[in-house]
């Protein structure tokens, strides 16, 4: 899917044209992907496991050489000048790369040396970043004494010592508790407000909704949708009916989906899919057909324990474009502060 932005070329941070990547065994992981990310944007990249998300990121940060197409990062061709690209970006992988035997300050100093930060600037830069990630008070403690959230924040800070204009964050909050996740959210907002372009991949749709000004969805190696979170939700249209099924059900969620698909209740463009604890029906007529859906499930033998009628969410966008939800294969994050959805919830008393 081509992205057209009416901006000067100098304001484009990432430009990918017809990018493809095929592994040596013939697996075509990415196919004809084209997109741009303008300077200063908080860009979110979503996709199910195996969709080509990680492969695409690795081509952008020069860990993989694209087999087709061209990528410019900060105006530099990733194939012709990979070292120059790496010097102009920050990259935080899913696994932290800090040395646990070193203190926070020593890890920062090591990063400064790796990125050739001038020595006269290092002390001030390290102090500034440790303060920014709220680690100044433990600057001289070894990283192996840190919590997972502290290590994550230190890892992100090490990728910023050279003040890169573009930062890649690959699932930076996976596995963190809600408090640590929220602290990193605030940190990411802060550096973005300072002008840093951020390319974020996340397994938490709530995170993408809160942080990103624009999103792209990849499935089966191709871009299938892009736009702001609100635009993508508006494209889906209508409400959704979330149905919770009994934990030890006589009917599985997949079987419940089959019941609704064969019921004749859904018309063109409407869909049903599985969630972490049941199924979701996406339809502009969700409120009108809700009772009939519940009756069809009960008559088929399903045990419904609750249902929710709500406005479209990124979960619905993901389901619409990929045929599943991120919670099919990943954990759903605990509830956090932020946007409220227009929701009506009813518990079914047996």
Looking at residue 66, the DSSP 8-state letter turns out to be: -
Specify the CATH number for 9-231; select among 3.40.50.300, 3.30.2130.10, 3.10.580.10, 2.40.40.20.
3.40.50.300
Q: Give tens-digit pLDDT for 75-101.
A: 999 999 999 999 999 999 888 899 999
**Alpha-carbon span 152 to 174, nearest angstrom:** 10
What would the two tokens of residue 197 be?
A: 């372009």
Residues 6+ apart with CB under 8 A from 166: 13, 14, 73, 74, 88, 89, 90, 196, 197, 198, 199
- Select from 72, 104, 99 the least CA-distant residue to 88: 72
Specify the CATH number for 234-347; select among 1.10.3470, 3.30.70, 3.40.50, 2.40.160.
3.30.70
What confidence score (pLDDT) does residue 133 get?
87
**Alpha-carbon span 104 to 347, nearest angstrom:** 49
Asked if the model's pLDDT at residue 328 lies above 50, the reply is no
SS3 131: helix
Q: Give tens-digit pLDDT for 188-224.
A: 898 899 899 999 998 888 899 999 999 999 998 998 9
Asked if the model's pLDDT at residue 281 lies above 50, the reply is yes
What confidence score (pLDDT) does residue 325 get?
60
In this structure, the strands spanning 42-46 and 76-77 are: unpaired
- The more confidently predicted of residues 342 and 315 is 315
CB-based contact 200:43 (threshold 8 Å) = yes
- Could you give the C-alpha distances from 19 to 4, 78, 106, 167, in angstroms and in order? 16, 12, 39, 20
Identify the sign of the CA torsion 144, 148, 149, 153: positive
Q: Where are the beta strands (DSSP E) in the chain?
A: 12-22, 28-38, 42-46, 68-73, 76-77, 89-92, 166-170, 197-201, 214-219, 222-227, 239-245, 271-274, 278-283, 304-310, 343-347
Asked if the model's pLDDT at residue 143 lies above 50, the reply is yes
Distance of CA 39 to the CA centre of its chain: 19
Domain with CATH 3.30.70 in the chain: 234-347
**Alpha-carbon span 53 to 61, nearest angstrom:** 13
Domain with CATH 3.40.50.300 in the chain: 9-231
């Amino acid at each position: 899917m081509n992205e057209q932005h009416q901006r000067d070329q100098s304001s484009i941070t990432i430009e990918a044209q017809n990018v493809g990547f095929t592994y040596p065994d013939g697996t075509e992981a990415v196919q004809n992907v084209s997109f741009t990310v303008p300077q200063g944007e908080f860009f979110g990249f979503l996709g199910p496991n195996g969709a080509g998300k990680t492969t695409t990121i690795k081509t952008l940060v020069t860990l993989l050489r694209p087999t087709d197409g061209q990528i410019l990062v900060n105006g530099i061709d990733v194939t012709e000048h990979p070292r120059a690209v790496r010097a102009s970006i920050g990259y935080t992988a899913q696994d932290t790369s800090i040395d646990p035997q070193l203190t926070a300050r020593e890890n920062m100093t090591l990063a400064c040396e790796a990125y050739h930060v001038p020595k006269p600037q290092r002390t001030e830069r390290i102090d500034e970043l440790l303060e920014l990630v709220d680690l100044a008070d433990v600057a001289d403690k070894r990283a192996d004494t840190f919590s997972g959230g502290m290590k994550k924040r230190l890892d992100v800070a090490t990728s910023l010592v050279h003040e890169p204009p573009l930062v890649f964050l690959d699932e930076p909050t996976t596995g963190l508790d809600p408090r640590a996740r929220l602290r990193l959210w605030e940190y990411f907002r802060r550096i973005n407000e300072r002008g840093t372009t951020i390319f974020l991949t996340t397994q938490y749709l709530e995170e993408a909704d809160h942080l990103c000004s624009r999103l792209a969805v990849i499935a089966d190696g191709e871009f299938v949708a892009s736009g702001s979170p609100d635009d993508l939700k508006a494209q889906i249209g209508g409400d959704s009916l979330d149905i919770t099924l009994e934990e030890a059900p006589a009917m599985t969620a997949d079987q419940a989906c089959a019941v609704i698909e064969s019921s004749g209740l859904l018309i063109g463009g409407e869909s049903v899919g599985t969630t972490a604890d049941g199924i979701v029906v996406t339809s502009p007529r969700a409120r009108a057909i809700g009772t009939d859906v519940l009756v069809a499930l009960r008559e088929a033998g399903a045990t419904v324990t609750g249902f929710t009628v709500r406005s479209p969410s990124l979960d619905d966008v993901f389901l619409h474009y990929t045929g599943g939800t991120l919670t099919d294969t990943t954990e759903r994050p605990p509830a956090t502060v932020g946007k409220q959805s227009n929701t009506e919830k009813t518990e079914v008393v047996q």
